Amino acid sequence: MVGSRRPHTKSRKGCRECKRRKVKCDEIQPSCFNCTRYGVTCHYGPDTPKPDEVWDPSADSTTSTVTAGSPAVEGNPACHSSAKSFSLNRPDSLHLGHAWGRDLELMHHYCTATSDTMATQEAARHVWRVLFPQEGYANEYVMHGVLSLAALHKAFLIPDRRDIYLTRSAFHHSMGQQHFTTLLSDVNVANWRSVFCFATMVIAYVLSMSMQPDDESEVKTTAILRTLELISVTKGVKAILLPFIPQLNKTNLAPLVTSVWLTPVDPLPDPKPSLEYSLIPSDVYNALSRLRRFLTEHVSLKYKGDYEKAVTILEVSAVQIAYADVNVEVGAILLWPFFLPEIVVSDIKDHKPQALLILAYYAVFVNALDRVYWFLRGWGRKLLKDINDQIEAQEPCRDLLDWPHRHICE
């Protein structure tokens, strides 16, 4: 329940180091998470530890702070609020103690399980399973992205250890972002492949927002705000990598694009292909036509073209999903934030009813992929509830909200 906290369970069998520091120990052996994180030797039992086995943060002058939770910078995929902030004692602690064992576990899980859940078509799965790790071997920040996704997946699969894996995921995401951020000002022919790989994983990390714990800060992070974060990151990736798209289509990374764009759009060979085997509702074309008519009547003449484009992009997404049948890639729901006009983004930020209404229709597309992609689980439902709380009482929008409600809540 939002606003409630998990009851604190006292650790009675924790390691000596956690007891000394008066923090909760996960009691995992041979090394608990806290000791692994700080690269110190983990001991269980009554023996007195040796002085050089005790970690003292005040005595270590090499402590560095990694802040990945700073306010998002518009259009910068490296700066978004999903990642947590960390104080990392000795940055190289990732490679010390038993941490390497944890990360070998994550790497094995990624290659044998996680990678195949990131796509439905085999060509795209090959990119996630083989090519991303290969880029990670040559670029450590990409490997951090790989391990971050693996930890997220394990957090989803093992609820009892959810917090531990979410923390590990945020740690790797933060570490990867440090180097990724330094590259954004100079993306070139030598590094664009690794930048593309990590940027793709950044989007996947943001898409997992429904898995993240509710924000307990004074300013609550709502589903609408998190969707705006996805839009910002997606547009940032577009701005950085758009010059390299022609090259991308000629490389072995191309399936990440070609598995989404299954038919040309200018012009569309069939503007309303059959949705018989599709994951999206069969009445989506009629619903979008009705939405278009409503927006034409309720949006000022100055911005009608922008809202017209926003609906058209949803129609294009529907066509691509129709051609994919049940093998739809998650990229199909990224087309909308990728091409969404800035005025509509601004109106969503201002919670204007017309903008939130079209966002509610987008939530239906997100919800349609809910059963396929674990990292989307529950996101469409949360988004619609947030939108509903904002505009349900407004008469002009109430009838138009019926369609999203029927396909998400029932």
Here the tokens at position 275 are 């949705």
Whether residue 212 is predicted with pLDDT greater than 90 in this model: the reply is no
- pTM given for the model: 0.77
Q: What's the chain's average pLDDT? A: 83
Residue 43's pLDDT is 77
Q: SS3 for 86?
A: strand
Q: SS3 for 163?
A: helix
Three-state SS string across 137-154, please? HHCHHHHHHHHHHHHHHH
Residue (of 118, 130, 120, 117) closest to 262 by Cα position? 120
Whether residue 157 is predicted with pLDDT greater than 60 in this model: the reply is yes
Whether residue 84 is predicted with pLDDT greater than 70 in this model: the reply is no
Please tell me which residue, 294 or 4, carries the higher pLDDT value: 294
Here the tokens at position 389 are 């709380």
pLDDT band at 6 (very low <50, low <70, confident <90, very high): very low
Whether residue 63 is predicted with pLDDT greater than 60 in this model: the reply is no
302-332 burial: b if 16+ Cβ within 10 Å, else e? ebeebbeebbebbbbbbbbbbbbeebbbbbb
Q: SS3 for 65?
A: strand
Residue 85's pLDDT is 43
List the domains of the chain with CATH numbers. 16-61 (4.10.240.10), 92-222 (no CATH), 284-408 (no CATH)
Residue 75's pLDDT is 58
Q: Are 195 and 181 in contact (CB under 8 A)?
A: no
Whether residue 216 is predicted with pLDDT greater than 80 in this model: the reply is no
Q: Are 100 and 76 in contact (CB under 8 A)?
A: no
Question: Which secondary-structure segment (H or E) carries 64?
Answer: strand 64-67
Residue 25's pLDDT is 81
